[in-house]
Amino acid sequence: MSSLKLPSAPNSGLFKQGYQTQSNADGAINRNIQACREISSMVATSIGPCGKNKIIVNHLQKIIITNDAATMLRELDVVHPAVKVLVMASDQQEREMGDNSNYVLVFAGELLSLAEKLVILGLTPTEIIQGYTLANKFALKELESLVVDQVDDVTVKSELLKIVKPIISSKQFGSAEIISELVTEAVLNVLPRGNPQAFNVDSVRVVKIMGSSLESSFVLRGMVFPRPPDSHVKSVKQKSKVAVFTCPIDITTTETKGTVLLHNAQEMLDFSKGEEQQLDTLVKEIHDSGVRVIIAGAGVGELALHYLDRYGLLVIKVPSKFDLRRVCRVCGATPSPRLGALSPEELGEIDVVETTEIGSDQVTVFKQDKNTSSSLTSTIVIRGATQNNLDDIERAIDDGVSAIKGVLKDSRLLPGAGAVEAELVRRVTAYGEKTPGLLQLAIKKFAEAFEFLPRTIADTAGLDTNEVIPKLYAAHTPAEEQSSSEGLSIGINIEAESLEDSLVDISNEGIYDLFISKKNAIDLATEAVNTVLSVDQIIVAKRAGGPVMPQQPRPGNWDQAD
């Protein structure tokens, strides 16, 4: 019998059919590093103010043009398990800080490709992980001493601009001045005066209206809906009560089916009249309770609209449940799931509702006075020529607003433009020199990884990296008689015409990085890299479900195995 036994793959009896495993012996670590390097080199060119845009066509054939790493990764379906670890770290950074998500990915990719060289030299992944962890601890401690400025008072526009402007410059270089003005104005409108810590990112809304140019954008207190009201009444000028309904405003239909037996024509006429009277009394009740504005979360029936118009109520449909929540916050109303008069506690108040035309679009504006008691909201109305451009500006604004959240946690600022990285390369290398044993190799590689930022900034700005980077390092190396803080704020000048002016003092230009955001990014990247390096085997189960429908159309029916 044994002679008939066919040779089969090792471990074939261990798992179900269709499993794939990659172990260290097959070079799983090298393959993981390669995959991670692939994705980080893809987003690396998009880092910094002169970063290149990418065109992404997602699975729904929507075209997205952006240089924002978080958006790219959201639209790309990454399936490689090791790369997913990096993507999750980057995603975490985007959610917590709103900025530096690109930094996490590229820095992690750089650390991994340097780790590959160390593996070739014969270091084990465990030693690399230990070295990286030590270097990471040291780098985060050193960051504390690199702080050059801070946001002293978040309620002052010039202080807020310190951090908002550099962040928006890295996404929308050239129009940063206009966008950061809009963002700071919108944020200052909604910052709770007594307690700035209670700032909610959701209080700043963005409405995109095609046409005109970015210069025509403006900020409004309150909310803007890109649709006109459904009723005849288009605006309410005085302070009025607001009712919010999440149910359809229409004749109520019964849950069960009912059959009505009509004996004669008169009964038939009375039947439809009864429905009309029922609606009439409902709308009259609402009108008598002092409500002048109705916000409908679902549809509004023809007949109901007729009566609402008769009583002179303003009705607007808000199909998005998120917008419905925001409008409830603006007015201080409670959404009601049933139609009818509401109790005074459930009603909200709004100062002015008006319909205006912006470009060729009619919009409804819910305006608030400065001294309203309910929570403040401000809306940035952005104008622009193409939808893609508007989307990209919206992403820049989102990042700018999220940065405010970071500033409220920790207001310290680091020098930008690659100055921090140049300083860290020098300090972490010096720390590596003092560390005995094999770990110093990993620590020095960790220091080397920081070079990615100044190199990419110089590269995308069209400067000669081989000349600019040494010059930057020279500026950061203190001479004997100097104190080490003098060269600290020297960064790369992306608008440089020649090698002479390729460096710039960032404190004059106001190019800052948020301390907490950078600290978080370095920590997350190291964490992700250590996770990838500690993996020595990948076991992938067979996908659940039946046969997968092929993507390309084939002749014949794909379901028949012919």
Out of 232-241, 476-485, 500-509, least confident range: 476-485
Q: Hey, is 461 helix, strand or coil?
A: coil
296: tokens are 């409908």
Model confidence at 484: pLDDT above 60 = no
> What is the residue type of 98?
G
When pLDDT is averaged across residues 67-72 and rounded to a whole number, the result is: 80
Model confidence at 562: pLDDT above 50 = no
Cα distances (Å, whole numbers) of residue 456 to 107, 181, 200, 468, 525: 11, 28, 34, 11, 18
In tens, the pLDDT along 333-381 reads 888 887 777 777 777 777 788 888 777 778 888 877 766 655 678 888 8
In tens, the pLDDT along 260-290 reads 788 888 877 777 777 777 778 888 888 888 7
Greater model confidence, 495 or 90: 90
Give dist(CA 235, CA 363) in Å, integer: 11
What's the helix, strand, coil split of the chain in %, to 5?
50, 15, 35
Q: Name 146's Cβ contacts closer than 8 Å, sequence gap at least 6.
A: 414, 415, 420, 423, 424, 488
* pLDDT score at 83: 86
Instruction: Give me the residue label for tokens 């700071």.
Output: 184
Give dist(CA 171, CA 395) in Å, integer: 8
* pLDDT score at 23: 66
CB count within 10 Å of CB 396 equals 24
pLDDT band at 218 (very low <50, low <70, confident <90, very high): confident
Q: State the first-to-last Cα distance of the chain, in angstroms, to the nearest integer.
A: 35
Model confidence at 298: pLDDT above 50 = yes
For the chain, domains (ranges, CATH) are: 19-148+416-478+487-541 (1.10.560.10), 240-255+262-350 (3.50.7.10)
Model confidence at 428: pLDDT above 80 = yes
3-state secondary structure 304-351: HHHHHHHCCCEEEECCCHHHHHHHHHHHCCCCECCCCCCCHHHCEEEC
* pLDDT score at 480: 47
* pLDDT score at 494: 77
490: tokens are 């020297």
When pLDDT is averaged across residues 64-89 and rounded to a whole number, the result is: 82
Strand-strand pairing, 361-367 and 218-225: antiparallel
DSSP alpha helix (H) spans, 76-194: 81-97, 101-121, 125-145, 157-169, 176-190
- The kind and range of the H/E element at 493 are none
Q: Which of 369, 353, 351, 358 is nearest to 234 (CA)?
A: 353
Provide the mean pLDDT of the chain. Answer: 79
The percentage of residues in the chain with a pLDDT greater than 90, rounded to a whole number, is: 0
Model confidence at 114: pLDDT above 80 = yes
pLDDT band at 481 (very low <50, low <70, confident <90, very high): very low
Model confidence at 404: pLDDT above 50 = yes
Q: At CA 367, angle to CA 364 and CA 369, rounded to 5?
A: 175
470: tokens are 């040494």
In tens, the pLDDT along 42-63 reads 888 888 788 788 888 888 888 8
Out of 109-123, 200-214, 234-248, 468-482, least confident range: 468-482
Out of 86-95, 107-116, 118-127, 331-340, least confident range: 331-340
Instruction: Give me the residue label for tokens 């307690």.
Output: 195
